[in-house]
């Protein structure tokens, strides 16, 4: 897997996080903590964590490719 293949999923995960978080705040303002709020919190947390993990992999891949370019 290279860096170009990771940028799309990173952006999509953070967009899903933002959308889920937005709806979570809206629903909590109306109904409070119900089943749907907990479900959206779970999905938002999952998307955020996956986005951060993919960003870490992207960072390590870019760091390794920069180190290899300096050696050549």
Q: 10-residue block means of pLDDT along the chain (72 residues)?
A: 85 98 95 94 98 96 80 64
The pLDDT assigned to 68 comes to 73
The pLDDT assigned to 37 comes to 95
The answer to whether 39 and 59 have CB atoms below 8 angstroms apart is no
The pLDDT assigned to 46 comes to 98
The pLDDT assigned to 18 comes to 98
Is 8 within the bounds of a domain? no
Q: Measure CA of the first residue to CA of the last residue in the chain; give whole Å.
A: 22
Domain that holds residue 21: 13-67
Question: Number of structural domains, the chain?
Answer: 1
The pLDDT assigned to 1 comes to 65
Is 26 within the bounds of a domain? yes
How far does CA 71 lie from the centroid of its chain? 32
């Amino acid at each position: 897997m290279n860096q170009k293949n990771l940028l799309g999923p990173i952006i999509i995960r953070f967009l899903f996080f933002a959308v889920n978080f937005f709806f979570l705040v809206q629903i909590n303002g109306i109904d409070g903590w119900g089943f749907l709020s907990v479900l959206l919190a779970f999905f938002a947390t999952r998307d955020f964590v996956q986005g951060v993990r993919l960003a870490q992999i992207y960072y390590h891949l870019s760091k390794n490719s920069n180190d290899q370019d300096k050696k050549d």
